[in-house]
Every structure is written in C-alpha cells, then in structure tokens.
Structure 1
Amino acid sequence: MLADQSLTIRPIHSKADRKAFIDLAFRLNADDPNWVPPLKGEALGLITPEKNGWFSHAEAQLYLAERGGKIVGRISAHIDTLALTLPAEQGFGPGVGCWGLLEAEGRDLAHALIATAEQWLRDKHMVRALGPISMSIWEEPGLLIEGFDHPPTIMMGHHKPHYQEWIESAGYRGVKTLYTYDLDITKEFPPLVGRIIAAGEKNARIRIRKVDKSQFDKEAAIILAILNDAWSDNWGYVPLTEPEIVDVGVKLKPIVFEDLIRIAEVDGEPVAFMIVLPDLNEAIAPLNGSLFPFGWAKLLWWLRKPKVRTVRVPLMGVVKRLQSSRMASQLALMMIEYIRRSAVAEYGASRGEIGWILEDNQGMRSIADLIECKINKKYEVYERTL
C-alpha cells in the first residue's frame, strides 16, 4: 500500500471495488467523444477470475487510488505463467510481468500507480515489466499513440494522448509498435490484385469456403490449429488455453456471420483463415455501458442482421510452411476480396480495419500496401527493467 498525504493506493478485493474500478474509466473518459463505453458486464468479466479463462494460467492484482474518499486512479499488475515459458526473443519469457488498465487523474498519480504495479511484480520475482497489456495479449495490448481522432473498433483500446508522456517519463521505452490499417472497401482493388485473385480462382487445388456456424466447435478447432501454427513464432504470441477458447466462443458466437469468416483449403487441407467481425462498438456506443432498460433489446435487434459502417479483421493466418510462398499472398487476397464483397452487399459496410499488425510483420504489411490500406492507428507496448 502506498500513501501520500491524502492519497492511498490499495489492492482491491471486493465486488464493490471491482465495480468502482470499472466505473472510474467511465468518469475519466466521459469528455472524450471517441471513447467507446464498454458493456459493464463484459468489463467486469475481464477482471473477475471466475469469469475469465485467462486466469487459469495467470494471476493478477488490481489497485485503486483514492484521495479524500474519491476514486482517482486504477491499475492492474499481472503475470501470465504461460508467457513465462516462452523464448525471450518473442517478447515475454522468464521474469517478465505486465501491467495495464491504467486510468489516472494526473501524471504524478500515474507514476505512483505504475510504481505500485512494479513493486507487486518485483515481489513475484519478475525482472522486467511490459505495459500496458490489458490483461491478456489477446485482449487490448499497447497504448494508443496515434489515431485519437476516431473511435476504436471492437476489441481495440482507446487512450488519451497525454498517457504516452506519463508512461515514457516513468522510465519506459517502446519495445513494439502495433498498427491498424484503414480501407475503403467500396472500391475495387488495384488491377494487379484482381489478376492474382483471378489466377487463384482458376486453380483447381484452391477452395475458399465460408464457415459453417452449425458446426461451430469443429470450425473453431480448424481455425485454432491454423492460428497456433501460423502465429507460433510471432512476438507476443501466447497459446490460447481451453478455458480461454470456451470464453472466446461464448463472446464471439453472436457476432460470427458465415460469409464474414473464410477458410482456405489447398488440396482439401485447411491452410489459411480470415475472421472479420462487424464493428460491435457502433451498436454499444450509445448504450453507455448498460443493457438496461432497453439496451439489450436494441442489441439483440442489431445482432439479427447488423448494418454497420465498419468491419474489422482481428485475425488471419496462413500455415507456416506456406508463409514465404506466392500462394500465401494469393490465399489472403482471395479471402479479403470475398469477404469485402459480402461486407458491402450484405452488411452495408463501407470501411474495413485490419489489425493489429506487428511493425515487423512484413508479410501482412505488404498485403496491406498491395490493397492500398493506410495506417490509421498506432499502439505502443512499452518495457522497463525492474
């Protein structure tokens, strides 16, 4: 516990504390027109061990800062035991802990909260801190450092510009930049892309198919197998565990639409996938975090057949053995084009967002350049030796 005059930073334990932890973000971001209030039930689930499968291989301590009886700041400190087993060159590794979910009324308070999280990590024998990561790498990694002028899409974070200076002045340096790309999907792709797609369509070995939602578990297993192979060498990759897979299935199944998720097969073998989600943030933004009294009805109606401006590509992957081949790009472009057509025709979308993409993922960045995407947001993951 840290105390400074009337300031107290204390670990949270109760249900009421968790509620206060969530409510603070609503108060501190109320003046930001581009902040999207999360559904409070979802936000509480993230920080409640009984409701988040990530805690099956992780531990966390959340802190609240109070001054004069008023909640003025928050932070999480956490350790992913799976991440500790990974090679250090992939971002985590032995002795690496994390912090995230930072909200604070001022710079000095932010420094005090970060110092508190760091001490918890030291007490757990961690020697290096990464942040902000909230809380799994699969949720909201990184701090927004560019792209404050428009709202985030589903499952992406949004932060105030001054947080960058607060974190860097606490002794942190950027270790990895993550990009999201913006694309006008009402326009046809350049002629070269069209020729690549047309050639793929003439190749009898290739099949691009929609997922079958009636076989949800089977399709999810196919996608997960490709993901684990395709992403296994990526910076920050931590394998999803069975409890997390169950959680993801429950959360995403309502916004899974068969024509927006494609699996590529070569000679009958699934070798690539692409997941696109309608931007749920467009539907929940007006609800201010609550499904009551009428928010649930509005959301259910929207989910029947969403009409959205934006769709997001959170995940795509090609098996490792094909990643350096021309076919990898061809499969990716075919899936992008087929989903683009469906997104425009069936969901009224006009904009796509791809990412996040690691700064050194040259394969994906080349595809983004080929279809004339533009970087619209940058997120930074920071590190510091403890």
Structure 2
Amino acid sequence: MFSIITNWYKERFSDPQAVTLMLILLGIALIIYFAGGLLAPLLVALVLAFLLEWPVAQMVKIGINRTTGASLVLVLFVGVMLLITFGLVPSIWRQGVALVTDLPTMLDKGFITLKGFVEQYPQFLSVEQLDASVGELKKLLDTQHILDLGKQLIGYSASLLVLMVYAILVPLLVFFFLKDKDELVRGSKRFIPANRDLARKVWLEMNQQIFNYIRGKVIEIVIIGAASYIFFAIMDLRYAALLGVLTGFSVLIPYVGATLVTLPIALVAFFQWGISPEFGYLMLGYGIIQALDGNLLVPILFSDAVDLHPVFIIAAVLVFGGLWGVWGVFFAIPLASLVKAVVNAWPKADKPELEKSKTEAEQGAV
C-alpha cells in the first residue's frame, strides 16, 4: 500500500512546477474560504477590475493614458450602475412586494383547481392528503412571516456600514487595480515561488476563457432578461419587470435556473388568466425564449469558453455554490474549466522512470 502511494506521489509531484502550482491553488482556495467575508470588498473589486481591464487596455492601445482610461471606464461603469439602481430596482422591489402579498391568493386558486382534478381522479391522490399538504404549505408561505423575514434581511444587508464600504471602497479599489495593474502584478510576484512556469501556463490558458465566459454570461443575462420583459409586457403579464429580471438571472445556474423560474411565471399567468389561450401563448413564448437561449445564444457566446460535460457543470454548480454562495454559482463553470486545465497541464513522470520505480517497488515487496 505504501509503495502504491509512493509511486503515485512520484508520478504526480516529481516536478517542482507541479508542487508550486498546487501550493498556489491551495493558498488561494484557503484565503477565499476562510477570509472571503473579510476580503469581500477586495474580491468584488478584483472581479470588476478584471472585467473592466479590456476597455482600459483598448484605450491604452490608441494612445490614451492608462490613468485617464481607467477614470473614464470607471465613471461610465458607475453611471450605468446608478442608472440601474435608481431606475430599475425600485420598480422590481414594488413588484416583488406585490407578488409576495398576492402569493397566498394565487396558491388558493391553484389549490382549488388542483382539488377539482383530485375529486375527478381520486385514485392518484385523496382530498385529505391534498388538504394536509396545503395546510403545511400555507404555514410556510404565511404572508406576514415572509414580509417580516424580508424586512430583517434588508435590515441586515443594507446597513450603513456595508453600503459605505461597497459604495466608496470598491470603486476606489477598482480604480487603483486598473491604474496600477503592472506595478501590482510585479509586486505580487515576490510572494510566489520562482518555479511558476506551469502556473503561468495554466493562467494564460484560463485568462481568456474566464473573460469570454463572464462577458458572455453578462450579455446572456441582459439579452434573456430584456427579451423576457418585452414579451411579458406585450402579453400584459403582471409583474413583468420582476419576472423578466428573474428570467435573466436564471441563466446563472445552468439547467436548474430555468426550471426554478418557470414555476412563478406559470403561477402568475395561471392566477391572471386561468387555463386559457393567453396562458398557453405565454408558456409557449417563454419556452421559445428558453429554447433559443440554449440552442442559439449559448453556442454563439460560449463556443470557445466552455467545453465541459453537463454532468461536470451541474456538479461544479453544487460544489462551488455550496462553498461560496452566489459567487460560487456565478464562477462555477470557470472554476470547473480551471480544474480541467490544471488536470490537462499537470506533468507526468516519464514512462521509463515510472516503470523503474514500479520494478523497484515490486522487488522490495518480494
């Protein structure tokens, strides 16, 4: 047993480059896992700086000073964020409160319809079982309880200190990351071991893929959210803005997000129109949007960024989402691609040397 472990270690960690790469990855993972809450503003600023580096680099190429380019890009980005915050968020918030208030009524209507089907087909589910399930669900979805919980969450998340940190510190950090990128990169190299050629190879492979993925995901969110909102508004569906935003953000969780957001859309449509042609048209149009997203938009945006089996994508969402919450879900696919790149680039021991080690181990066992 010991010889097997020894041979595996020699095969995988005989190259100092591999050890350096493993130490770098392990150190980053430990810092994020144990100090992610404390370093959240810094991590958010790093992500935003990574996304905004491309327009700054394009400005530098055409002769604009890097400081000026970073300032212009940051001002434009902050302006867009303020426009979204004060223009879109209040409307979404009002519709969200209205939806939570109407949710018990919607569920009652759905349960009445379901009860009619149960009475027609009692062999599948009894009325007593349905009433018991409805009673338990109503306890969980008590309106006042949901509103009180929402107020508590808002009170915790929107404290003055948190707002000040994210509204002032994050833009400053983003500006300095963009302006002093080269200096910061040179300074950080002092803390990385010298044998880092393999880590550099992996980073160069992943850098463009991560950027393409994040850029594509942002574009996908905007396109799907806008298309869904326009369609819902044309259909005169209630809570169109809220449901459009939910549909847009549902693409963050592959294969699962679309399934989760379908329920509130169907519930609102059923409450508004019942079983009618409008309900059918809405669900048909929503299905077409999802089909175009999966079969046309995603292949165009992510053709060069993602080459992973759906099983690995779902596993990555579960693992990284459990470790780092929303950020883990958002970066699940890039992180899974990073794992794949590390596995592909990991050095292997030469076959003659490996065979020699196995022979020596067998002789020692004899």
User: Is this a same-fold pair by TM over 0.5?
Assistant: no
TM-score, normalised by the number of residues in structure 1:
0.21
User: Larger Rg: 1 or 2?
Assistant: 2
User: Whose strand proportion is higher, 1 or 2?
Assistant: 1
User: Whose helix proportion is higher, 1 or 2?
Assistant: 2
